[in-house]
Chains A and B, each alone.
Chain A
Amino acid sequence: QSALTQPASVSGSPGQSISISCTGTSSDIGAYNYAAWYQQHPGKAPKVMIYEVSNRPSGVSNRFSGSKSGNTASLTISGLQAEDEADYYCSSYTTSTSWVFGGGTKLTVL
């Protein structure tokens, strides 16, 4: 049950695009198309931004997109805005009928 691997921090200027990677194994990200991404602002509960690798829930901006290659999922945010500054977590269902999260990535909008 090792955590998925994410970069600790990323940054970008308003209007730019950034990507956050999430590396797992063949027992989690590589096994299913159940990678998801969550945004968490300080003191708030997480909010799902991407599910099933690349699907956006209703109400989430189309500036957020997801993809997967092998055991690595990625979140891309285009047209960065100040309100995108937050912590981002990936997650995946696993072959052990459990879930695993990434360690989190702090996004700073410069």
Chain B
Amino acid sequence: EVQLVESGGGLVQPGGSLRLSCVASGFSFSSYWMHWVRQAPGKGLVWVSLIKNEGITTNYADSVKGRFTISRDNAKNTVYLQMNGLRAEDTAMYYCAKTSAGVFGIWGQGTMVTVSS
């Protein structure tokens, strides 16, 4: 079964850090670009970051550039999102997703991040 399982969310104070993980199974992980997409409570989907299959090329939304770092370990079928300098506006469900042919074809169930004092 093709699956993405996120973990690492939780409650963190403003300015704090969290590291999200997403473990993939059921497909050739090292062949695909991987992404993080977030959704604030009651709001829409927002693309956050991508990492290409080779693990070197990355890109970020302007709102997180310089604060978030995406990485992957193809040997562990895992993609990470290191989030530093967290702000209240980063509060959201964070989804891991895989793209192929320009479409987010597989999504995880999400992990909730709450930034609050």
Contacts and interface: CB of A to CB of B under 8 A. Distances in A.
B109 interface: yes
A99 B35 contact: yes
Interface string A81-105: 0000001010111001111111110
Interface residues of B, number: 21
Contact of A99 (B47, B108, B109, B110): B47
Interface string A29-59: 0001010101010000111100110000100
Contact of B105 (A34, A57, A96, A103): A57
A51 B102 CA distance: 8
Given A36-B103, A89-B44, 16 more contacts: A1-B61, A32-B102, A34-B103, A46-B45, A46-B107, A51-B102, A52-B103, A57-B105, A89-B45, A91-B103, A93-B102, A99-B99, A99-B104, A101-B37, A101-B45, A101-B47
Interface of A: 1, 3, 32, 34, 36, 38, 40, 45-48, 51-52, 57, 87, 89, 91-93, 96-104
Interface of B: 35, 37, 44-47, 50, 59, 61-62, 95, 99, 101-105, 107-110
